[in-house]
Amino acid sequence: MGIEIERKFLLSSDAWRSQVSRSQRMVQGYLVTAAAVTSGAAKSSVRVRVAGDQAWLNIKSSTLGVERLEFEYAVPLVDAETLLARLCDGVVEKIRHYVAHAGHEFEVDEFFGDNDGLVVAELELNSVNESFEKPDWLGREVTSHARYYNLNLVKHPYAAWSAAEREGQD
């Protein structure tokens, strides 16, 4: 169990690519739809993720914003694949790039499939007010925009976003 404190940003250029230390393909799905979370029928998202030959279950409180309660457990790969295929309603596919910058590690998620074209940088912090040095390639912050949540990308993928949504208007 932990408190996840995370901020999300768009990318203002491709310059981050030269700083990538490692990359990993991930497929993830959710046992609860975004609609159930939004309506209050669930107070958390329940995520299944496969990354390489490893897999995890993740439970995250559905509060919108920087700070969320988070639980994560390793599960057998075969279980995760069955959960994704049988009990999830769609998946999100991405490559996660790990990018070190001035003592912090950014996770840059490059999405595929129906979310092709979307790239989001995430930064985990130890406290809400922790400061960090912004790299030149870091763009506008989107932490408070629900549509960037991976959970929401399953049913409202980037391919279906309006021009206003892509430009960051709400």
Catalytic residues, by residue number, are 30
Q: How far is the CB of 101 from its own copies (least distance, A)?
A: 32
Contacting its own copies within 79-98 (CB under 8 A): 79, 82-83, 86-89
Per-residue contact string for residues 54-73; x = within reach of its own copies by CB under 8 A? ---x-x-x-------x-x-x
Q: How far is the CB of 136 from its own copies (least distance, A)?
A: 39
Handedness of CA 116, 168, 33, 8 (dihedral sign): positive
Q: How far is the CB of 82 from its own copies (least distance, A)?
A: 6
Q: Exposed, middle or buried, 161 (CB in 10 Å: 0-12/13-18/19+)?
A: middle
Q: Which is nearer to its own copies, 56 or 98 (CB)?
A: 56
Handedness of CA 95, 144, 46, 33 (dihedral sign): negative
The answer to whether 8 and 140 have CB atoms below 8 angstroms apart is no
Q: Is 35 in the site for its own copies (CB under 8 A)?
A: yes
